Amino acid sequence: MAANFMPPPATVHQAVQPLAFLLGTWRGQGEGRFPTISPFAYSEELNFSHSPNKKPIITYSSKTWKLNTNQPMHAESGYWRPQIDGTIEVVIAQSTGLAEVQKGTFDAEQRIVKLKSALVGNASKVKQITRVFKVGNEELSYVVEMATNLNDLQPHLEASLKKI
């Protein structure tokens, strides 16, 4: 008689476990600024997901809307690829056509991920992008800085979101 097949229990991949604090859907608001533009406010939905028993990859997506009017703004998606040694590589495709490869580090105890662009492609103005994500007090907050052909690295986006 054939033995019943029992699939292994669903587990978060070992390399993803230290970043499990990111997993889920987050909603909140942010503010944008840069010396060359008018400040603006936005709402955002951000998702980090991982398929148990699969590759050590977190799927990432962000959608934003103009605050008050709900008119769609920027969107982006990509893959976060954590390594066992605490380093991480992230690829992101933006709705503007810009493509970025980010490299950095994460600290599971501090619940912080720090990323710096290793590559910015198909961008007319952007030279460099940094992203810092933190989770604390049940909030995910991030700061995105950019450098352009005219301006040094400085904040473009700051947002704070709660898990839904």
Q: Give the binding site for ligand HEM (CB under 6 A).
A: 32, 34, 36-37, 40, 42, 64, 73-74, 98, 125-126, 129, 144, 146, 148, 156-157
Residue with tokens 């982006």: 76
Residue with smaller CB distance to ligand HEM, 84 or 150 = 150
Residue with smaller CB distance to ligand HEM, 4 or 149 = 149
CA distance 21 to 50: 12
For 34, counting Cβ atoms within 10 Å of its Cβ (0-12 exposed, 13-18 middle, 19+ buried), the class is middle
User: To the nearest whole angstrom, how small is the minimum distance from the Cβ of residue 27 to ligand HEM?
Assistant: 14
User: To the nearest whole angstrom, how small is the minimum distance from the Cβ of residue 15 to ligand HEM?
Assistant: 25
Residue with smaller CB distance to ligand HEM, 15 or 91 = 91
User: To the nearest whole angstrom, how small is the minimum distance from the Cβ of residue 114 to ligand HEM?
Assistant: 15
Q: Both tokens of residue 151?
A: 């301006």
User: To the nearest whole angstrom, how small is the minimum distance from the Cβ of residue 159 to ligand HEM?
Assistant: 8
For 137, counting Cβ atoms within 10 Å of its Cβ (0-12 exposed, 13-18 middle, 19+ buried), the class is exposed
Nearest CA among 87, 83, 37, 93 for reference residue 62: 93
Q: Both tokens of residue 79?
A: 């893959």
For residue 148, which amino acid is it?
T
Cα-based angle 19, 20, 21 (whole degrees, multiple of 5): 90
User: To the nearest whole angstrom, how small is the minimum distance from the Cβ of residue 9 to ligand HEM?
Assistant: 38
Residue with smaller CB distance to ligand HEM, 8 or 35 = 35
**N-term to C-term CA, the chain:** 47
Residue with smaller CB distance to ligand HEM, 6 or 37 = 37
